[in-house]
């Protein structure tokens, strides 16, 4: 079995039935102690990564610590949160599953996609055929309700003077803000609000929203300052998270466990300041060999031009290398939802 060639520990014994779906097989392994999750590209072909519990816990800790420390002193346990991702307890999509830590660090979290989201559903919805169009049409009404639920949550917390943290795929918040603009509505949360986004900067098939433009829209419609609107960069194959610094929005590399590098087209390491493919050795992975060459094009600087944190940084925006398909959990969500949400 392919999993045995990747997993470095001893696989638990499970019984796989002939008609078991991807998620049914994954859930059997996960019930036996693993944490298998996946992501995919625009082709709908999935990348499955087998984590043991220790590796998954480290990934959760890494994302929580990276974002909370960058937003310090904003975080406190009594914040009200909204997760713009699938319910972590109802999906094996990595970007959703790893966000289960969000429920541990604050008292109250609402979820944008509170329904089961399976690999088969995502694969079907991402195809531009009759079945995919039917699935997207069937989801349209519920997705409109989702936007209204988020807006009502924003109104309620603003009226009550609550502190709020919104985390997840940026295109969902983008469509929320588009609806607010149509309604002629805006808020001024100021220092009572924070936004943490992760990937998915395509809004439509032919439109990519610049991160700076997104921050300006958040400030205009929600009153949340750019210093409290941070993006992070990570992937299903790794357990490290590079988060914007508030001062200049450069992506800081967690060098205590991530050895990052940039490679040219021949696989040779390039100097600081040169563009190339992002690659890394991941010290947190204990269940699979995590020396990864990504399909992302980056430029890495030895020091941050905007702050005094002593780590290398990536320039604020990460893009796919030419010729590589768009990949990632947030891209999956966008393909499944955005055709309907953008209407």
Given a cut of 50, whether residue 229 has pLDDT beyond it is yes
3-state secondary structure 184-218: CCCCCCHHHEEEEEECCCEEECCEECCHHHHHHHH
The residue written with tokens 């990937």 in the block is: 199
Could you tell me which CATH class the domain 2-341 is placed in? alpha beta
Say if residue 140's pLDDT is above 80.
no
Render pLDDT for 201-219 as a digit per residue (tens, 0 to 9): 655 545 667 889 999 999 9
pLDDT of residue 339: 44
| Torsion angles phi and psi, residue 135, rounded to 5 | -65, -45
CA atoms within 13 A on the CB side of 113: 29
Judged by average pLDDT, the poorest of 118-122, 245-249, 254-258 is: 118-122
pTM above 0.85, yes or no: yes
Condensed to tens digits (0 to 9), the pLDDT of residues 165-201 reads: 999 988 889 989 999 999 999 999 999 999 999 866 6
Q: How confident is the model at residue 124 (pLDDT cuts 50, 70, 90)?
A: low
Task: Write down the pLDDT at residue 126.
Answer: 60
Q: Choose between 155 and 144: higher pLDDT.
A: 155
Q: What is the pLDDT of residues 320-333, one digit of tens each?
A: 877 555 555 555 56
Please give the share of the chain, as a percent, with pLDDT higher than 70. 83
Which of the 8 DSSP states describes residue 41? B
pLDDT in tens, 28-54: 999 999 999 988 654 556 788 999 999
Q: Domain limits of the chain?
A: 2-341
Tell me what pLDDT residue 95 has: 86
Measured CA to CA in angstroms, residue 20 lies from 70, 149, 255 at distances of 42, 34, 41
Short-list 161, 190, 163, CA closest to 82: 163
Distance, CA of 82 to CA of 48 (rounded, Å): 27
The H or E element spanning position 154 is: helix 130-160
Across 327-341, average pLDDT: 54
Q: If you ran DSSP here, which 8-state letter would residue 128 be given? A: -
For residues 123-162, one letter each, b for 16 or more C-beta atoms within 10 angstroms of the residue's C-beta and e for the rest, the string is: bbbbeeeeebeebbeebeeebeebbebbbebbeebbeeee
The pLDDT tens digits for 68-103 are: 999 999 999 999 999 998 899 998 989 889 999 999
> Within the chain, what is the greatest distance between any pair of CA atoms?
58
Q: Which tens digits make up the pLDDT trace of 163-174?
A: 999 999 888 899
Q: Which residues are CB-neighbours of 126 under 8 A, at least 6 positions away?
A: 40, 42, 44, 132, 332, 335, 336
């Amino acid at each position: 079995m392919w999993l045995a060639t990747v997993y470095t520990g001893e696989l638990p014994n499970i019984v796989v039935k002939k008609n078991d779906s991807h998620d049914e097989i994954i859930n059997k392994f996960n019930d036996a102690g693993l944490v298998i999750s996946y992501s995919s590209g625009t082709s709908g072909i999935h990348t499955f990564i087998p984590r043991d519990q220790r590796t998954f816990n480290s990934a959760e800790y890494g994302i929580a610590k990276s974002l909370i420390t960058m937003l310090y002193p904003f975080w406190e346990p009594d914040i009200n949160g909204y997760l713009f991702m699938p319910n972590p307890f109802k999906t094996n999509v990595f970007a959703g599953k790893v966000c289960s830590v969000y429920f541990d660090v604050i008292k109250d979290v609402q979820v944008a996609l509170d329904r089961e989201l399976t690999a088969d559903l995502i694969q079907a919805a991402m195809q531009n055929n009759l079945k995919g169009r039917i699935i997207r049409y069937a989801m349209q009404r519920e997705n409109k309700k989702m936007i209204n639920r988020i807006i009502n949550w924003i109104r309620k917390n603003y009226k009550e003077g609550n502190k709020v943290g919104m985390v997840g795929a940026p295109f969902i918040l983008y469509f929320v803000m588009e609806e607010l603009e149509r309604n002629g509505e805006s808020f001024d949360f100021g220092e009572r609000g924070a936004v943490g986004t992760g990937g998915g900067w395509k809004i439509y098939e032919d439109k990519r929203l610049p991160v700076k433009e997104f921050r300006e829209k958040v400030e205009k419609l929600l009153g949340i300052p750019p210093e409290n609107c941070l993006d992070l960069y990570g992937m299903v194959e790794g357990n490290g998270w590079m988060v914007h610094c508030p001062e200049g929005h450069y992506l800081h590399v967690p060098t205590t466990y991530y050895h990052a590098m940039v490679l040219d087209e021949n696989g040779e390491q390039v100097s600081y300041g040169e563009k190339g493919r992002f690659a890394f050795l991941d010290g947190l992975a204990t269940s699979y060999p995590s020396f990864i060459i990504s399909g992302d094009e980056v430029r890495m600087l030895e020091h941050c031009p905007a702050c005094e944190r002593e780590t290398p940084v990536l320039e604020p925006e990460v893009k796919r290398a030419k010729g590589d398909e768009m990949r990632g959990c947030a891209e999956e969500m966008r393909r499944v939802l955005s055709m309907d949400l953008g209407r």
